[in-house]
Structure 1
Amino acid sequence: MIRTLSALCKNEPGVLGQMALECGKYNANILSLAAGETENPEISRIVLCVDGDDAAIDEVEKYLESLDAIIQIDDLSRKDFVDRELVMVKVSMDRANTGQLMQIFEVFRANVVGMGQETVTVELSGDQERVDGLIKILAPYGIKSMCRSGMIALKRGDE
């Protein structure tokens, strides 16, 4: 089962490594990981999308809660949350498909960020379904390279 964990932690060396190591110990596969400072530069938020057995992920969560560097951990999978991901895709482009690609970019509201003689690079921010949809539509045109940021997420509402 895929779970999304959000941890507020002290912004100090080694915390991210400890979290990743613990996931590995319990055979929980990290599908995506995003980390960055919060509104307080002394605190970071780490969002982990983890695939594995529920019991194993529960054990990971318990261990993480026990770390001194962890201030708070939430399993967002059990709450209402909003998520976003950034993707950059470099796709093959020629005179025959330029118009079609531009229409796809417009429909998805993807921004062209670079062009070469034979490729175009676009960026898109959205939920995972939107990002996956763009990738699926662009695949037949020939994706040359791609980079995904991993999911970032926050609980909805005032909590």
Structure 2
Amino acid sequence: MKHTISALVKNKTGVLAESSAAFQDNKINITSISCGETENMDVSRMVICAEGSREEITKVTEQLKAMDFVIQLDDLARKEFVDRELVLIKVEVNKDTMSQIMQIFEVFRADVVGMGQKTITVELSGDQERVEGLIKILQPFGIKSLCRTGMIALKRGDE
């Protein structure tokens, strides 16, 4: 089962490493991890996506909650949340495929951020399904390079 864990943590050295080590110790694979400062420069929000049973995730989140740098922790899999991911994709183009690829970018509302003689680079921000959809549809054209940020997420509503 996929889980999205959001943690407010103290912005200090070693927090990301210690947090990911807790998942490693419990043999849980992290599929995505993002971390950055919040509106308060002393606090960062870490969003970890991992696959594991409810029991495995509960065990690791209890470990994380006990760490002195964790301010707040939520398993967003149990809540409504908004998520986004950024992807940069460099895809092969030629005179025969250019218009088709540009139409795909338009449908996905992706922005061209770079062009070469044989490639075009695009950026897309959206939920994971949208990002996965663009990647899947561009694969037959020849993806030369790809970079994803990993998911970021916030709870919906006033919480």
Shorter-normalised TM range: over 0.9
Alpha-carbon distance between aligned partners in 1 of 2:19 and 2:86, rounded to the nearest angstrom? 23
Name the structure 2 match of 1:45. Answer: 45
Task: Using structure 2 for the length normalisation, give the TM-score.
Answer: 0.99
Q: Which runs of 4+ in 1 moved over 3 A?
A: none
**Alignment-derived partner of residue 114 in structure 2:** 114
- The residue number in structure 1 matching 2:58 is 58
Distance 1:53 1:12 in 2: 30
Compute the displacement of 1:112 (Å): 0.3
Report deviation, 1:36.
0.1
Amino acid at match of 2:92: S
Say if 2:28 is the partner of 1:25: no
| Number of equivalenced pairs | 159
Q: Distance in 1 between matches of 2:55 and 2:154?
A: 24
Partner of 1:69: 69
Letter in 1 for 2:111: N
Match of 1:126 in 2: 126
Distance 1:130 1:26 in 2: 31
Q: CA deviation at 1:53?
A: 2.5
Amino acid at match of 1:64: L
Cα deviations across residues 13-60 of structure 1 (Å, max 9, x unaligned)?
Answer: 011101100101111100000000000000000000011232111111
Q: Which runs of 5+ in 2 are unaligned?
A: none
Letter in structure 2 aligned against 1:81 = F
Cα distance in 2 for residues equivalent to 1:41 and 1:51? 30
TM-score (norm 1): 0.99
Q: Determine helix, strand or coil for the equivalent of 1:39.
A: coil
CA distances 1:53-89 after superposition (whole Å, capped 9, x unpaired): 3211111100000011000000000000000000000
Aligned counterparts of 2:133 and 2:46: Cα–Cα separation in 1: 25
| Letter matched to residue 45 of structure 2 | R
What SS does structure 1 have at the residue aligned with 2:101?
helix
AA of the residue aligned to 1:7: A
Q: Distance in 2 between matches of 1:5 and 1:35?
A: 12
Q: List gaps (5 residues or longer) in structure 1.
A: none
Q: Deviations over 1:133-155 (max 9, x none)?
A: 00000000000010000000000
Percent identity of paired positions between Structure 1 and Structure 2 = 59
Q: Judge conservation of contact 1:27–1:52 (CA < 8 Å) in 2.
A: no
